[in-house]
Chain A
Amino acid sequence: MADKVLIVGGGISGITAAVEAAEAGLEAVIIEKNTYLGGRVAQLHKYFPKLCPPYCGLEINFKRIKQNPKISFHTLSEVKSISGSEGNYQVTVQVNPGYVNEKCTCCNDCVAECPGERANDFNYGMDTTAAIYLPHEMSFPMRYVLDKNACGSGCTKCVDACKYGAIDLDMQARTVEFNVSSVVFATGWNPYDASKIDNLGFGVAKNVITNVMMERLAAPNGPTRGKIVRPSDGKEVKNIAFAQCAGSRDENNLDYCSSVCCMASLKQATYLRDCYPEDSKATIFYIDLRAAGKYEDFLMLVKADENVTMTKGKVAKIEEDPATGDVTVTVEDILGGGKVEATFDMVVLAAGMESAAKGANLPADLVYEANGFMDSKQKVAGLHACGVARWPDDVATSVQDGTGAALKSIQSNGGIPKTADAVEMSGGN
C-alpha cells in the first residue's frame, strides 16, 4: 500500500480530509490550483450562524498542517493524470510557476517598485493589486505571487527590488509524481456566473452585485476595507435588496437549490445593519426561506430586526436608473401584495454554487449527476468525492464530509499504516 492519499482541492473540505487523515496516521498531499490553501471560505467575511471569521478556522487548520510532517501540499497545481487502482495509484501533478520562491519574506519591497496592475480576483475584481502581490493576509503559504500577464515586457523592477533573491522570472512549470492508495476529489465550487441570468441586470446595472462580492465588501481586507458602499459611486448603502434564488432552483440556470444562499443573505443583512446601525434597511425577496435545522434560530434573530423585511416573491426584473445609479426591482408580493416595484441603493443577487468539477475534465473515470456534482459512491474503487464537489452544502457539512472522506481513504489504504511508536494492546477483552 502507498500509505498516502492525494486530495484534489485545498478548500475547507479538502484541507479537512488531509488533516483528519494525517492525524489518524495516513500521509496526505493536497493539490490546489489556486495560489493559496483555503479555497472559497478564505473569501468569506463571516460564517453563519455564529458570525465568526473563517480565518479563525483556517488558522487552526494551517497550524495543524504546519506541525504535521505527514501533510504536504502544492499550490498552483493541477492533476494531469491518474493511473493504477485502489491502493496503488500513480498521479502526475503539474506545478505551475508563481515566479516567487521560498526565499520570500513578505517584506513588500517588490510591490513598492512594481509598475504593473491587475484586477484582484480575491476581491472578485472590485479592486486591483500590483502585478506582484500577496493574495491575502492569511495566504498559506505566506508568499507573494507574480501575475506575469500583468508585467510589462522585460520589466525586472521587482527582481531588482528583492534583496532576498526570491523572484525568479524564469521559473518553469514542473511535474511531480505521486504514488497514493486513493484520491479524494474536494474540488468545491465556483460562484455561478450571474451575467448568465438574463433578467437580473448583473453586469448591466452597476449596483447589482453577487453575494460573494458582498462578502468582500464587508471584509476588513476587502476593496473598501469593510465599508459597504456601492460600486458605481462609492455612496454608502443604506437600502439594500437581496434577490434569493438568483440562478438557483431555475432550469434556465442552476436546476437545484444551492442550500446556503438563504442563510448567506440573512447573514449579509447583518453586515449592513452592523455597518450602518441607525438608518440602514434590508429587504430579502425569497421563494422559500431555507434555514434548516437549528439555523431557524438565526432566521428568527434577523427577523427580529425591524429594519429587515422579508417578502415572498422572486425578483424577476431589475432595472437601473442611469441618472442616480439606483436599482429598481420588480416582484410580486405573493401574499396578496400584488406586483410591486421597489428602488434600492444596491441589490445583492444570492447567486448559487456551481460544481467546479463541472467541465473541468478531471483525468479520472468519475460519475457525476446531471448538474455536475459527483456521486458519493464512485464506480472506481479508491476515488472519493467530498464537500461541495458532491452536494451543494454549507461549511459545517462540507467539513463533516471531508472527515468522512478521510476514513474512506484509510479504507482504500487497507487501514492505517502501522507506526513504530504506537503500542499495541495485548488482547484486551
Chain B
Amino acid sequence: MADPKLGVYICSDCGIGEALDTEKLENIAKNQYRIEVVKTVPFLCSQEGAQVIRDDINNEGVNKIVIAACSPRVNSDTFDFDPAQYITERVNVREHIVWSQLPAAVEEEPAQEAGTEAPAEASGDEAAAAAPAEAAPETAEEPAEAAKPAVNENTQEMAEDHLRMGIVRAQKSEPPEPVIEAVERTVLVIGGGAAGLTSALESAKAGYKAILAEKEAVLGGWAGKMYKILPDKPPFEDVKTPDIDEKIAAVQSHENITVLMEAHIDSIAGTPGQYDATISHNGSTETHRVGSVVMAIGWKPYDAGKLEHLGYGKFKNVVTNVEVEEMAAANNGTISKPSDGQQAKRVAFLQCAGQRDPEHLPYCSSVCCMTSLKQALYVTESDPDASAFIVYKDMRTPGLYENFYKAAQNNPGVMLTKGEIVSITEDATGNIILEIDNTILGEKVRIEADMLVLATGMVTNMLPEGAEKVTDLTPEYVGQWKETETQDGIIKEVIADPVVLNLAYRQGPELPYLKYGFPDSHFVCFPYETRRTGIYAAGAVRAPMTAMQSANDGVGAALKAIQCVELTSRGQSVHPRSGDESFPEINFTNCTQCRRCTVECPFGVLDEDEKGTPKTNTSRCRRCGTCMGACPQRIISFKNYSVDMIASQMKAIKVPEEDSKPRIVALICENDAYPALDIAGLNKIQTNPFYRFITMRCLGGTNLVWIADALSAGIEGFLLIGCRYDDDYQCHFVKGSKAASERLGKVQETLSRLMLEAERVTQVQLAMNEWDQLPKIMNDFAEQLKGFGPNPFKGF
C-alpha cells in the first residue's frame, strides 16, 4: 500500500466526552505518535461523522484509520472502509472502558463492590444507568474541577493506553493480499449410498462436476439392500419399497457425474480447490483433480458376535435386525426360523441390543426403533395371526416419525413393552424364552418366541472391520501409539492407519474423529465443521441417522464442498473467519524445523518436508494464528496480525511508578471474551480499571515471548480469557485455547528464570453468556497479583 498515513478519530458522545478528557487523548496521538490528522468528533457514527473520515481519506490521504469510539461489533456498516485499501482499527473506549468504569473510582481498591453488585442491581437498563450516577459522589477521589465533571484518572489512563495500543496496531497492520489460485470446480464424493448419491446429484444440479467413488460393485448402499424402507414423505406412516434406483439412475445419467465403481482411494494430496485424488478402480489407476471432498462412506452393523450374552451365536433362532432385513428381502417379506426354516409366528425384538450399553455401543443408533417397527410389520404382513413383540427401553421415533410409530403399532400383531432383559434361553424345540423385568405389564414376565431379533446398532465406517471397542479408540485416528524423540522431549503420538481418504497430510491420513469414531462436527451451530478444510462428512459415517436424514445431510455437505471451492477461488478463508484474505507467512531463513507449527495446527494445514520445514497450504488455513503462537522463532505472521504487532502493543502500555496502579494485560478472544466484555459494558457492569485488553483471533496465537517481554517491562500479570477447551470445547478453532493452556505450562520455567510467580500468567475459560462473572474473575486475579507484591522488574 502507499505510504502509511494514520488518522485518529475520537468520538465524544455516548458518555465518552463526559468520562474522558479527549483533549489529552488527542495530544497522545499528536505528540507521542506524531500523527497529524487527529480529531474529536461528536456523534462520530452519524453520516456527518463518518463523512469527516471519508473526507480525510480523500483529501489528506489517510489510509490507516484509528477510531476511538464504540465497539467494532456495532456500526460496522458505518465505518466500512475497503479493507483491501485501508486499515480500520476500532479502539473500544465505549463498552470496554467508559461504560464499564465508574466516573471516578478510588484508586486503592479496584471497583470490586461495584463490580460484583452491579449485575444484581443492574436489573433493567434504568437501574444500570442509574448505578454509576449514585456511585459517583462518595467515590469521587479528586475534587471535581469546576469546568468539567470529574474525569477519573484510572479511566483516563485506561483509555490512553488503549488508544496507544490501537495506534500501534494500525501502524503494524497492512491490508492483506489474497492468494488467488486456480480451482477445480469438481466435488469428489466417496460412497454411493443415500448420502453420497444425493451429494453427487445435488452438486451436479448446482453446476459443479462430481466424481462418485463407490467401493462396491453396486450403488445404493444399505438403501438398496432392504425389503422395505422407512417412510420419507408425509404423512410418514407407511413403509415403502426402496426407490433408491431412481436416484441411482439419475446419478448415472447425469452428464456432470463420473461414477467409479469398485473404487479405492489410493491418495488425496494437495489443498482445497486443488486436490489430486488418485483412485484405482477396475484395474486402472487415475489421478483426478478435484476441488473438495464429501466423505459419505456410511456405517456397518455392530459385530453381533460380541453379543453372546443375548444368545447370538449361541442359539440358532437369535438373529440381528440386519440379518432379518436380508431374509425379508430374499424371501419377499417372509421371516423364517434359521433352525428349521419354518415361518416364524412369534418373533420377539430386543431393542438396544449392545447399544446404550457401556460394554458395547454407549450411544443410541437412532434408527433401530423404527427398523424394528418396520420388521414387525414384515412378520404380521405374511401371516395375520403371527405376532411380533418389541421389548424396548424407550421408543425413539422423533418428530413426524411418531406417525410411523402410531401406524405400525395399530397393527393387532405388533405388541410393545418397555422392559429389561433378565435372561434369554432356548428350549428343546429351539424356541427362545425371554425373561423380562421392569415391564409396563407391572411384573416380571416370561415370553416364548420362535425367534429373537436383536436390534443391533450402527458403527461408523471410519473404524475398520474389527476395530477395537468404540469406547477405547486411539485419539483422533485408528492406529498405534509411537514415541518420538524431539528437541523438546519425547512426543507421544498415534501413527494412524489409512482407512478411506489416504490424505497426504502431515497430521494423518483421515478426518480426525471424535467420540466413538464419528468424524462429526463438535459444533451445535456448525454441523459441517470438520478439521480438514474442504473435506466434509455426510450421512451415517458422522452420526447414526436414517436414510432420509442421510440424504438431507448429503445436500448440506455438497453446499459446503462447493462453498469451500468458491471461497478458495477468491483467496478467502472458510468459517469461522469466512472471507478473511490474510494468511500466515513464514520467514524460512530463521526456521529451525522444530515442527511445533505443523504439530499444533488444529486443521492439519502445514505439511513438512523430511527435514521438517513447514509447507503452508493457504487454502487449508483457517487463519486462527495458532502456528504464529506456536513458533518459538516468531517467524510466522499475517499482514494484519503478528507477534511483533502484539508485542509492540504491550510495549505501548505506560506502566506508572506507583504500586497502586498495577498494569495487567488481558489477552481476550475476539469470539467470546470480547463480546462478553461488550455486554458487560452495555449492562454498565463495573470492571477493574487496571486491565489492558488485547484482542486475539484465538488464544492459540499466544506467543510466550510476549509474556517474557511484558513482565520484564513491569506488567504485573497476564490474564488470558478464552473459550472452553477439552471435551465440550467451544474454541472456534477446536484446539486453539487448549494449545494456549499447554503453552502456559511451559511459561512456568520462563517465569522462574525471572524469579516470578508462575500464577502471574493465568488462563480462564469464559463462555459468552458469562459476562456477569467478568468483574469477579478480573478482580480476583488482580487481588492475587497484589498478593505477590509488585513486579520487581517495574521501572527497570
| A residues lining the B interface (CB < 8 Å) | 12, 19-20, 23-25, 45-47, 50-57, 59-61, 64, 66-68, 103, 105-108, 111-112, 127, 129-130, 133-134, 137-138, 142, 163-164, 219-221, 225-226, 249, 255-259, 288-297, 300, 312, 334-336, 369-371, 373, 375-377, 391-393, 395-397, 399-401, 403-404, 406-408, 410-411, 414-416, 419, 421-426, 428-429
Q: List 20 A-B contacts (CB under 8 A).
A: A24-B567, A25-B566, A52-B730, A57-B523, A59-B671, A60-B671, A106-B682, A112-B130, A220-B772, A221-B683, A293-B366, A293-B544, A293-B545, A297-B363, A297-B515, A312-B440, A391-B400, A395-B524, A407-B556, A411-B202
Q: Given known contacts A137-B683, A259-B398, is B442 in contact with A67 (CB within 8 Å)?
A: no
Quick one: which of A45, A56, A106 has the most chain B CB within 10 A?
A56
CB-nearest residue of chain A relative to B544? A293
CB-nearest residue of chain A relative to B769? A53
- Which 8 A-B residue pairs are closest in the complex by CB-CB distance? A57-B525, A415-B207, A369-B234, A404-B555, A403-B556, A53-B769, A407-B559, A288-B394
- In the complex, are the beta carbons of A59 and B672 less than 8 A apart? yes
- Apart from A293-B543, A392-B399, what are 7 other A-B pairs with CB-CB below 8 Å? A25-B566, A105-B45, A164-B43, A257-B398, A290-B394, A403-B555, A428-B184
Contact of B397 among A220, A257, A300, A371 (CB under 8 A): A257
CB-nearest residue of chain A relative to B70? A105
Any chain A CB within 8 A of the CB of B692?
no
> Which candidate, B120-128, B335-343, B614-622, B704-712, is the interface stretch facing chain A?
B120-128
Chain B residues closer than 8 Å to A289, beta-carbon distance:
394
Chain A residues closer than 8 Å to B552, beta-carbon distance:
376, 400-401, 404
Contact of A60 among B15, B119, B525, B544 (CB under 8 A): B525
Contact of A296 among B70, B363, B724 (CB under 8 A): B363
How far apart are the CA atoms of A269 and B631 in the complex, in Å? 44
How far apart are the CA atoms of A170 and B206 in the complex, in Å? 46
CB-nearest residue of chain A relative to B74? A142
Per-residue CB contact flags for chain B residues 674-687 toward chain A (1 = under 8 Å, else 0) read 01000100110000
Q: Given known contacts A404-B556, A426-B182, is B524 in contact with A52 (CB within 8 Å)?
A: yes
- In the complex, are the beta carbons of A66 and B129 less than 8 A apart? no
Chain A residues closer than 8 Å to B682, beta-carbon distance:
106, 137
How far apart are the CA atoms of A134 and B130 in the complex, in Å? 17
How far apart are the CA atoms of A291 and B395 in the complex, in Å? 10
Chain A residues closer than 8 Å to B236, beta-carbon distance:
369
Contact of A403 among B520, B544, B559 (CB under 8 A): B559
Per-residue CB contact flags for chain B residues 4-44 toward chain A (1 = under 8 Å, else 0) read 00000000011100000000000000000000000000010
How far apart are the CA atoms of A234 and B129 in the complex, in Å? 25
How far apart are the CA atoms of A7 and B233 in the complex, in Å? 23
Q: Given known contacts A59-B672, A404-B556, is B123 in contact with A225 (CB within 8 Å)?
A: yes
Chain B residues closer than 8 Å to A105, beta-carbon distance:
13-14, 43, 45, 70
Chain A proximity of B399: nearest CB distance (Å): 5
Chain B residues closer than 8 Å to A226, beta-carbon distance:
772
How far apart are the CA atoms of A25 and B560 in the complex, in Å? 12
Contact of A425 among B43, B128, B182, B440 (CB under 8 A): B182
Chain B residues closer than 8 Å to A419, beta-carbon distance:
570
- In the complex, are the beta carbons of B399 and A391 less than 8 A apart? yes
Per-residue CB contact flags for chain B residues 533-574 toward chain A (1 = under 8 Å, else 0) read 000000000011100000011011011101100110111001
Question: What total of A-B pairs shows CB separation below 8 Å?
Answer: 285
Chain A residues closer than 8 Å to B43, beta-carbon distance:
105, 163-164
Chain B residues closer than 8 Å to A107, beta-carbon distance:
13-15
Within 8 A of A (CB), among B144-195: 180-186
Chain A residues closer than 8 Å to B515, beta-carbon distance:
294, 297
Chain B residues closer than 8 Å to A51, beta-carbon distance:
728
Any chain A CB within 8 A of the CB of B469?
no
Chain A residues closer than 8 Å to B562, beta-carbon distance:
24, 407, 410, 416
Any chain A CB within 8 A of the CB of B314?
no
Size of chain B's interface in residues, with CB distance under 8 A? Answer: 110
Chain B residues closer than 8 Å to A370, beta-carbon distance:
234-235
Chain A proximity of B774: nearest CB distance (Å): 11
Q: Given known contacts A24-B563, A111-B126, is B528 in contact with A400 (CB within 8 Å)?
A: yes
Q: Given known contacts A220-B119, A400-B553, is B396 in contact with A225 (CB within 8 Å)?
A: no
- In the complex, are the beta carbons of B771 and A220 less than 8 A apart? yes
How far apart are the CA atoms of A395 and B552 in the complex, in Å? 15
Contact of B403 among A133, A137, A256 (CB under 8 A): A256
Chain A residues closer than 8 Å to B446, beta-carbon distance:
none
Chain A proximity of B670: nearest CB distance (Å): 9
How far apart are the CA atoms of A419 and B569 in the complex, in Å? 10
Contact of B234 among A12, A67, A249, A375 (CB under 8 A): A375
- In the complex, are the beta carbons of B769 and A45 less than 8 A apart? yes
- In the complex, are the beta carbons of A57 and B13 less than 8 A apart? no
Any chain A CB within 8 A of the CB of B732?
yes
CB-nearest residue of chain A relative to B567? A23
- In the complex, are the beta carbons of A294 and B518 less than 8 A apart? yes
Chain A proximity of B195: nearest CB distance (Å): 12
How far apart are the CA atoms of A262 and B672 in the complex, in Å? 28
Chain A proximity of B685: nearest CB distance (Å): 10
- In the complex, are the beta carbons of A296 and B362 less than 8 A apart? yes
Q: Given known contacts A369-B234, A404-B559, is B77 in contact with A334 (CB within 8 Å)?
A: no
Chain A residues closer than 8 Å to B45, beta-carbon distance:
105
Q: Given known contacts A107-B13, A137-B683, A369-B400, is B206 in contact with A416 (CB within 8 Å)?
A: yes
Chain B residues closer than 8 Å to A53, beta-carbon distance:
767-770
How far apart are the CA atoms of A226 and B771 in the complex, in Å? 12
How far apart are the CA atoms of A142 and B74 in the complex, in Å? 7
- In the complex, are the beta carbons of A225 and B14 less than 8 A apart? no
Contact of A256 among B202, B400, B574, B728 (CB under 8 A): B400
Any chain A CB within 8 A of the CB of B718?
no
- In the complex, are the beta carbons of B578 and A23 less than 8 A apart? yes
CB-nearest residue of chain A relative to B420? A335
Chain A residues closer than 8 Å to B184, beta-carbon distance:
425, 428
Within 8 A of A (CB), among B397-423: 397-403, 418
Chain A residues closer than 8 Å to B440, beta-carbon distance:
312, 334-335
CB-nearest residue of chain B relative to A395? B524
Chain B proximity of A403: nearest CB distance (Å): 4
- In the complex, are the beta carbons of B400 and A66 less than 8 A apart? no
- In the complex, are the beta carbons of A292 and B516 less than 8 A apart? no
CB-nearest residue of chain A relative to B444? A336
Chain B proximity of A226: nearest CB distance (Å): 7
Contact of B287 among A259, A297, A377, A429 (CB under 8 A): A429
Any chain A CB within 8 A of the CB of B634?
no
How far apart are the CA atoms of A297 and B524 in the complex, in Å? 15
Any chain A CB within 8 A of the CB of B306?
no
- In the complex, are the beta carbons of A296 and B364 less than 8 A apart? yes
- In the complex, are the beta carbons of A300 and B362 less than 8 A apart? yes
Within 8 A of A (CB), among B35-87: 43, 45-46, 70, 73-74, 76-77
How far apart are the CA atoms of A221 and B769 in the complex, in Å? 9
Q: Given known contacts A289-B394, A401-B552, is B566 in contact with A24 (CB within 8 Å)?
A: yes
- In the complex, are the beta carbons of A396 and B524 less than 8 A apart? yes
CB-nearest residue of chain A relative to B232? A376
How far apart are the CA atoms of A24 and B575 in the complex, in Å? 12
Contact of B185 among A256, A369, A425 (CB under 8 A): A425
- In the complex, are the beta carbons of A423 and B543 less than 8 A apart? no
Any chain A CB within 8 A of the CB of B443?
yes
Chain A residues closer than 8 Å to B443, beta-carbon distance:
336
CB-nearest residue of chain A relative to B186? A428
How far apart are the CA atoms of A55 and B363 in the complex, in Å? 28
- In the complex, are the beta carbons of A401 and B556 less than 8 A apart? yes
Contact of A375 among B76, B130, B233 (CB under 8 A): B233
Q: Given known contacts A60-B671, A294-B516, A370-B234, is B772 in contact with A50 (CB within 8 Å)?
A: no
Any chain A CB within 8 A of the CB of B356?
yes
How far apart are the CA atoms of A189 and B239 in the complex, in Å? 28
Any chain A CB within 8 A of the CB of B90?
no
Q: Given known contacts A408-B555, A425-B184, A429-B289, is B560 in contact with A403 (CB within 8 Å)?
A: yes
How far apart are the CA atoms of A122 and B679 in the complex, in Å? 17
- In the complex, are the beta carbons of B206 and A410 less than 8 A apart? yes
